[in-house]
């Protein structure tokens, strides 16, 4: 009799175990909740954000989450998200549990590069399903002097430990995802390149296309300047990537050319070529007026074949019909002309 009872108990125990076994058949790690930190990218001197995200699939119920993060304190610092509290805080999010139903414990240490963030739901139901639900947002800034950043610097932000709890205080195993990558660029890595062709100047004449001044302006202030080489090429560098600039080319005795809206690229933005129209020689007080009119024609005509080379538009050291014709052909044109080979 006693043996029969034992057999029955074993059979019942086996039956009760069966559904559990089949629930784990797909592999325990497949159904564990996960925690990860998202990537961030920003320019040194500005800020970027990462989020701590939780995913839960068919769990009996997550009621609390504890996450420990590690970051490189020599490269990154956490910005304080709450002025009303002493110390540094990150911002709690309502993606997993509503914000007004949370109890949060957190500890951010910028000296050791660690963040502890724990959130528990004090009201309502446990969460059984969630995909990339945010529990907190971290705002980063660079820990370094931005002038020393010459190329993009990235460092990992790792979840070093994580634990979840159901409403009864039972531990729920958590799978940790690979680290997030937080990157920042230097401030002066943007650049613009292009070329300036001088009307009436050809390879067999010197100077060829060299000597034009090209500037990049932001809010009316010249922030970069370059001089064209023999082929007319220039590079404006040390600009802020993705910022927009007005690029202008100028040279005596030519009309200016400009493009008012050029975005500097980390891979140099190629503005292409522009042609400066020649013949703006007057009035000389002290610069010509960026307009070609009768006073320019008269100025050249008066110095025709003479020693005063201020009327030598094409730079071949003689004032002749070539200079006069170029200026006359540009009659009533004014600068700045559009940035184009057919202005
Ligand atoms: Ca604070
Ligand atoms: Ca003029
Ligand atoms: Ca000439």
The number of helices, as runs of H, and strands, as runs of E, in the chain is 4, 21
Give the per-residue pLDDT at 112.
98
At 6-24, the pLDDT tens digits run 444 444 444 444 444 333 4
**53-73: average pLDDT:** 93
- Residue 240 pLDDT grade (very low, low, confident, very high; cuts 50, 70, 90): confident
Expressed in angstroms and rounded, the spacing between residue 140 Cα and the centre of ligand 1 is 14
* Cα separation, 192 vs 211, whole angstroms: 18
Expressed in angstroms and rounded, the spacing between residue 193 Cα and the centre of ligand 2 is 28
Domains of the chain as residue ranges with CATH: 31-185 (2.60.40.680), 190-338 (2.60.40.4130)
Expressed in angstroms and rounded, the spacing between residue 281 Cα and the centre of ligand 2 is 6
pLDDT at 1 > cutoff 50: no
Give the per-residue pLDDT at 30.
58
- Residue 238 pLDDT grade (very low, low, confident, very high; cuts 50, 70, 90): confident
At 324-335, the pLDDT tens digits run 999 999 999 999
DSSP string, 168-224: TS-EE--EEPPPEEEEEE-SS-EEEEEEEEETT--TTSSS-STT-EEEEEETTEEEE
Expressed in angstroms and rounded, the spacing between residue 315 Cα and the centre of ligand 3 is 5
- For residue 106, which ligand has an atom nearest its CA? 1
Give the per-residue pLDDT at 184.
93
The per-residue pLDDT of the chain, averaged, comes to 89
**105-111: average pLDDT:** 98
Expressed in angstroms and rounded, the spacing between residue 262 Cα and the centre of ligand 2 is 28
Residue 327 burial by Cβ neighbours in a 10 Å radius (0-12, 13-18, 19+): buried
Give the per-residue pLDDT at 183.
96
How would you classify residue 58: left for phi > 0, otherwise alpha for psi between -120 and 50, otherwise beta?
Answer: left
**287-295: average pLDDT:** 97
Give the per-residue pLDDT at 341.
96
């Amino acid at each position: 009799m006693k043996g029969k009872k034992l057999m029955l108990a074993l059979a019942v125990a086996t039956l009760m175990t069966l559904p559990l076994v089949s629930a784990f058949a797909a592999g325990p790690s497949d159904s564990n909740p996960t925690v990860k930190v998202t990537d961030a990218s920003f320019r040194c001197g500005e800020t970027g954000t990462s989020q701590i995200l939780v995913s839960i699939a068919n769990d009996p119920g997550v009621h609390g989450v504890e996450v420990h993060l590690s970051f490189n304190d020599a490269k990154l610092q956490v910005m304080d998200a709450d002025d009303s509290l002493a110390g540094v805080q990150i911002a709690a999010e309502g993606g997993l549990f509503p914000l007004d139903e949370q109890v949060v414990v957190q500890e951010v240490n910028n000296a050791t590069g660690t963040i502890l963030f724990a959130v528990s739901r004090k009201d309502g139901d446990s969460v059984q399903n969630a995909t990339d639900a945010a529990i907190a947002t971290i705002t980063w800034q660079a820990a370094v002097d931005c002038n020393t950043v010459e190329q993009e610097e990235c460092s990992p932000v790792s979840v070093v430990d994580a634990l979840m709890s159901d409403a009864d205080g039972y531990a729920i195993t958590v799978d940790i995802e690979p680290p997030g990558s937080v990157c920042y660029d230097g401030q002066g890595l943007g650049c613009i390149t292009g070329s300036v062709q001088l009307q009436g100047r050809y390879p067999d004449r010197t100077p060829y296309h060299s000597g034009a001044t090209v500037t990049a302006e932001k809010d009316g202030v010249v922030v970069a300047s370059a001089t064209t080489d023999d082929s007319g090429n220039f590079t404006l560098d040390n600009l802020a990537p993705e910022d927009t600039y007005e690029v202008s080319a100028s040279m005596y005795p030519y009309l200016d050319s400009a493009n008012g809206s050029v975005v500097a690229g980390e891979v140099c933005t190629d503005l292409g070529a522009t042609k400066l129209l020649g013949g703006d020689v007057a009035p000389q007080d002290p610069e010509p007026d960026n307009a070609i009119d009768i006073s320019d024609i008269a100025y050249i005509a008066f110095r025709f074949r003479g020693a005063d080379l201020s009327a030598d538009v094409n730079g071949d050291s003689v004032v002749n019909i070539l200079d006069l014709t170029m200026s006359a052909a540009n009659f009533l044109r004014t600068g700045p002309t559009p940035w184009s080979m057919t202005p």
